[in-house]
Amino acid sequence: MNEAVILLAYGGPDSLDDIPEFLLDIRGGRPTSQELIDEISDRYRQIGGMSPLLGITRAVAAKVAAEIDLPVYAGMRHWSPYITDVVDQMAADGVEHIVAICMAPHYSMLSIGKYRAEIEAALASVQDSTGRLIKLSFVESWYGEPGYLSGIAGNVAQTLARWPASERDRVKIIFTAHSLPSFILERGDPYYSQLRETAGLLAERLGLAAERWTFSYQSAAQTGMPWLGPQIEALVPELAASGKRDLLIAPIGFIADHVEILYDIDIGVQEIARAHGVRVERPPMLNASQPLVDALSALARAQLTLAQP
């Protein structure tokens, strides 16, 4: 059986000129106000004019392919190469079994669930047009994967070393993830519990006492509905008011540099921190580092083994 892996990611514009079309795709074709286009364009302008996400995902794909000795493709949900187009290419390449892994470790019906629906629809389209049934093995979550945890813990430890040894005990560590509408809790969505389990596992690896760390959400959209909190933008001033002046913000729901990291944390949160006299440091993202490659390779191998007759 011809097997291959596809890494699924959100996608990002290749240039500032792409932003109106990019937002149109995110919004499902609903018109975008010029005010929002200008706001998002300014954010991307401040991080260099484009998202590095596709390049990072392709670099990870190449390294995983070398580890597992199978083709590994990259498909984006909201920009090219779109998941549908990549699935068509995989079918044309003769792939008979696809292992799909999202570049996000925690499951939610509003995130990973959407990716699964999209790739299943793409495979159904291939079957309708060609009569070929391609087997899908979909990884729904992988927040407990050792490579992922060790990679983040190692980066946090290295970042803590930016403070003198005598001052590290006063550093408050904040683990963050993308916020989602809070109605998911009413529907039994595991996102909340998976994130807190991850934060606890990382605190244990780092030997952090309970008072040394906390969890916060970031990057909530302005949709007029309640989103999961607390939000990092509100938490930083709150901690400053309580006397905390040294913060280490460690994203755990994100694994790669993207606008939510390069702008929301490195620019937006840093501005808030400076206004409140707070020092904020952030660990490097996993990007295409070996711990992440190890984690994704292990996931792929496990799915390939399960598929064996």
Q: Tell me: the pLDDT tens digits for 137-187?
A: 999 999 999 999 999 999 999 999 999 999 999 999 999 999 999 999 999
pLDDT value, residue 54: 95
pLDDT value, residue 305: 77
Query: Per residue in 283-304, pLDDT tens?
Result: 999 999 999 999 999 999 999 9
Could you give the percent of the chain with pLDDT greater than 70? 99
Where in the chain are all domains bearing CATH 3.40.50.1400? 3-142+289-306, 146-281
Encoding tokens for residue 141?
A: 């979550």
Does pLDDT of 307 surpass 80?
no
Q: What is the dihedral of CA 126, 131, 134, 140, to 10 degrees?
A: 50
pLDDT value, residue 176: 98
Contact between 103 and 255 (Cβ < 8 Å): yes
Query: Per residue in 234-278, pLDDT tens?
Result: 999 999 999 999 999 999 999 999 999 999 999 999 999 999 999
Beta carbons within 8 Å of 214's beta carbon, 6+ residues apart = 172, 173, 174, 175, 235
The C-alpha atoms of residue 98 and residue 111 are separated, in whole angstroms, by 20
The C-alpha atoms of residue 205 and residue 263 are separated, in whole angstroms, by 28
What is 146-281's CATH number? 3.40.50.1400
Closest CA to 242 of 200, 202, 278: 278
Query: Per residue in 102-131, pLDDT tens?
Result: 999 999 999 999 999 999 999 999 999 999
Mean pLDDT for all residues in the chain: 96
Q: Is 141 helix (H, G, I), strand (E, B) or coil?
A: coil
Closest CA to 53 of 288, 266, 241, 281: 288
pLDDT value, residue 198: 98
Does pLDDT of 309 surpass 70?
no
pLDDT value, residue 1: 78
Stronger pLDDT, 223 or 102, i.e. the higher one: 102
Does pLDDT of 308 surpass 80?
no
pLDDT value, residue 57: 98
pLDDT value, residue 59: 98
Could you give the percent of the chain with pLDDT greater than 90? 96
* Secondary structure, 3-state, 11-54: CCCCCHHHHHHHHHHHCCCCCCCHHHHHHHHHHHHHCCCCCCHH
pLDDT value, residue 223: 81
The C-alpha atoms of residue 144 and residue 135 are separated, in whole angstroms, by 25
Question: Is 3-142+289-306 assigned to CATH 3.10.580.10?
Answer: no
Does pLDDT of 52 surpass 80?
yes
The C-alpha atoms of residue 72 and residue 89 are separated, in whole angstroms, by 12
